[in-house]
Chain A
Amino acid sequence: MGGVTVAEGPIVSLSHVDAGYPGATILADVSFDIAPGEIFILLGGSGCGKSTILKHMIGLNPVLAGTLTVAGLEWTAATREGLCRRIGVMYQSGALFGSMTCLENVMLPLEEFTRLSRAERRERAMGLLRDVELADAANLMPSEISGGMCKRVAIARAMALDPEVVFLDEPSAGLDPITSSSLDDLILRLRAEKGMTFVVVSHELASIFKIADRAAMFDKSRRAMVALGVPAELRDSSDDPFVRRFFNRGESDGK
């Protein structure tokens, strides 16, 4: 895992954010910055609020309190359209449009937001599918490919507009260890080639140690972020009982 060169300012910044839904605070007073080019993991057990934080980051839900910025901008009606073009999102299910082929799914953002000709859009989308090693599946429907392939196509679609930051919601969920590992390799390769920032929701320890530069860990019972740092350092030196239990239990389960 290569070191991270911290550029001018954070690409994602949370300052004293309360996360959740109106009337239901799931996480309170969360603060951290994510540097450009970093692979940052949102880590924790099921129901701890990591996907909720992600929904705030990608502008689906407003934060309950505090300040959240992406590329220096807060999510408002005025900044939404511009910010949407600067981020890419891969959902847990892939969320490919079932009525379109894989190629059409990847071409969609290009069709809506660029002035490229159809041939140019097609060429660029094929290039993205080649990046995720799925050029052969271009004309297949999402229902005709596996879950892992759907996620790769979704990553290609998320990268279509050359976003500054790509958000991935549990990319390993529902995948076998080999497919999951190949997806991790893909994320590392894309970061190395394109220099994108990746924010990944995960609780797969093998994946976390392989790809993460840093991780933020959340605890459901305390409704708080309980650790922030390099995963291996958190595992080896954290004094927090939850963090120690999470890593030790996870590793022993994995053996």
Chain B
Amino acid sequence: MGTLDFIGETCACAAGMVFHPRRFRLGDSLLAFQRAAYDGLAVVSGVGFLLGVILAFQCAAALKMFGVEIYVSDMLAIALFRELGPVVTAIILAGRTGSAFAAEIGTMKANEELNALTTMGLPPVRFLVMPRIVAAALAMPPLTIFHELAGLVGGALVLSTMGIPTQVFWQHVTATSTAFMIVFGLAKGVLFGLVVGLIGCCAGMRAPTTSDGVGAAATAAVVWSIVAIAVGDGLIAVLAWIWGV
């Protein structure tokens, strides 16, 4: 199956499910969501916290020269909500979930389970791909929120060691953050989740049925997901600048 065939079949399947929603395998999607979101909360939050700590230290070092360390909170809020939150969370999702999708589906292909589905009249795209893509997309908003909050906690901790009270830190964060900024970041996250799910499943469906095929598929899923996230984020940044948002 070529990449374009896969994308076309997935789009056709998604369109079909709009008219026949009962064809969607909700149970499989919930299981994939649990593995992507719930099981990934710890690592996403941990990375977010450390990212917040590192950013706060680096920014504070520069802003301290002007005596305005307090603005670290503003920088953190903007950076995390608009860019780093969805982007870093999506990269973690690619590493944890996109690779798992590719490995699961690649292994099923090697074990002839995809052929078994096909000859049972169950299209693998409907049975395996759609539940996973939806799960990856829906996992992104909660993961991104946890990542961002953990990053802000890390930043607050660093600033508190520099004598800036936590209450002041949060006042600056809430003053700087807008609802649009937060929703914009979460929407980007959903888009990145779709891309990660799509690429992970595509890599699995196209995996060679050789001994190293599954490993190669998992690697390809992560690499192409990260490339797609970077390119997509760049395009969105340019469009946002053009549209003035």
A127 interface residue per 8 A CB criterion:
no
Residue of A nearest to B127 (CB): A112
Interchain residue pairs with CB less than 8 A apart (10): A81-B121, A85-B121, A89-B115, A89-B120, A91-B115, A92-B112, A95-B112, A98-B111, A108-B120, A109-B120
- Is A97 in contact with B112, judged by CB distance below 8 angstroms? no
Q: What 1/0 flags go to A70-97 for Cβ under 8 Å of B? A: 0000000000110011010101110111
Selected from A80, A81, A95, A109, the residue in CB contact (under 8 A) with B115 is A95
Closest 10 CB pairs of A and B: A84-B121, A95-B116, A95-B112, A91-B112, A89-B119, A58-B119, A95-B113, A81-B121, A109-B120, A93-B112
Which B residues from 90 to 138 make CB contacts under 8 A with A? 108, 111-113, 115-116, 118-122
Name the A residues within 8 Å of B121 (CB-CB). 80-81, 84-85, 112-113
The residues of B with any CB-CB pair to A shorter than 8 Å are 108, 111-113, 115-116, 118-122
Name the A residues within 8 Å of B119 (CB-CB). 58-60, 84, 87, 89
Q: Which of B108, B112, B121, B122 has the most CB of A within 10 A?
A: B121
Number of A-B residue pairs having CB atoms within 8 Å of each other in the complex:
42
Instruction: Compute how far the CA of A95 lies from the CA of B120 in the bound complex, rounded to whole angstroms.
Output: 12
Q: In the complex, how many residues of chain A place their beta carbon closer than 8 angstroms to a beta carbon of chain B?
A: 20
Name the B residues within 8 Å of A89 (CB-CB). 115-116, 119-120
Name the A residues within 8 Å of B120 (CB-CB). 84, 89, 108-109, 112
Which A residues from 88 to 132 make CB contacts under 8 A with B? 89, 91-93, 95-98, 108-109, 112-113
- Additional pairs, 13, CB under 8 Å, beyond known A60-B115, A93-B112: A59-B119, A60-B119, A81-B121, A84-B120, A85-B121, A89-B115, A89-B119, A95-B111, A95-B113, A95-B116, A98-B108, A112-B120, A112-B122
Name the A residues within 8 Å of B116 (CB-CB). 89, 91, 95, 97
Residue of A nearest to B113 (CB): A95
Instruction: Compute how far the CA of A91 lies from the CA of B120 in the bound complex, rounded to whole angstroms.
Output: 12
Name the A residues within 8 Å of B122 (CB-CB). 108, 112
Instruction: Compute how far the CA of A92 lies from the CA of B111 in the bound complex, rounded to whole angstroms.
Output: 9
Selected from A59, A84, A93, the residue in CB contact (under 8 A) with B111 is A93
Instruction: Compute how far the CA of A87 lies from the CA of B115 in the bound complex, rounded to whole angstroms.
Output: 14
Shortest C-beta distance, A204 to chain B (Å), equals: 20
Name the A residues within 8 Å of B113 (CB-CB). 95-98
- Is B118 in contact with A60, judged by CB distance below 8 angstroms? yes
Name the A residues within 8 Å of B108 (CB-CB). 97-98
Name the B residues within 8 Å of A59 (CB-CB). 118-119
Name the B residues within 8 Å of A91 (CB-CB). 112, 115-116
Name the B residues within 8 Å of A80 (CB-CB). 121
Instruction: Compute how far the CA of A179 lies from the CA of B122 in the bound complex, rounded to whole angstroms.
Output: 31
Name the A residues within 8 Å of B111 (CB-CB). 93, 95, 98
Name the B residues within 8 Å of A87 (CB-CB). 119
Name the B residues within 8 Å of A112 (CB-CB). 120-122
Residue of B nearest to A59 (CB): B119
Instruction: Compute how far the CA of A91 lies from the CA of B111 in the bound complex, rounded to whole angstroms.
Output: 9
Instruction: Compute how far the CA of A84 lies from the CA of B116 in the bound complex, rounded to whole angstroms.
Output: 11
Instruction: Compute how far the CA of A98 lies from the CA of B122 in the bound complex, rounded to whole angstroms.
Output: 16
Residue of A nearest to B115 (CB): A60
Name the B residues within 8 Å of A81 (CB-CB). 121
Instruction: Compute how far the CA of A95 lies from the CA of B112 in the bound complex, rounded to whole angstroms.
Output: 5
Shortest C-beta distance, A37 to chain B (Å), equals: 21
Shortest C-beta distance, A85 to chain B (Å), equals: 6
Instruction: Compute how far the CA of A88 lies from the CA of B106 in the bound complex, rounded to whole angstroms.
Output: 23
Instruction: Compute how far the CA of A84 lies from the CA of B120 in the bound complex, rounded to whole angstroms.
Output: 5
Instruction: Compute how far the CA of A91 lies from the CA of B117 in the bound complex, rounded to whole angstroms.
Output: 11
Instruction: Compute how far the CA of A96 lies from the CA of B113 in the bound complex, rounded to whole angstroms.
Output: 7
Name the B residues within 8 Å of A108 (CB-CB). 120, 122
Instruction: Compute how far the CA of A130 lies from the CA of B52 in the bound complex, rounded to whole angstroms.
Output: 59
Name the B residues within 8 Å of A58 (CB-CB). 119
Shortest C-beta distance, A90 to chain B (Å), equals: 9
Name the B residues within 8 Å of A96 (CB-CB). 113
Shortest C-beta distance, B39 to chain A (Å), equals: 15
Instruction: Compute how far the CA of A59 lies from the CA of B117 in the bound complex, rounded to whole angstroms.
Output: 12
Shortest C-beta distance, B218 to chain A (Å), equals: 17
Shortest C-beta distance, A69 to chain B (Å), equals: 16
Which A residues from 125 to 176 make CB contacts under 8 A with B? none
Shortest C-beta distance, B204 to chain A (Å), equals: 14
Instruction: Compute how far the CA of A96 lies from the CA of B122 in the bound complex, rounded to whole angstroms.
Output: 14
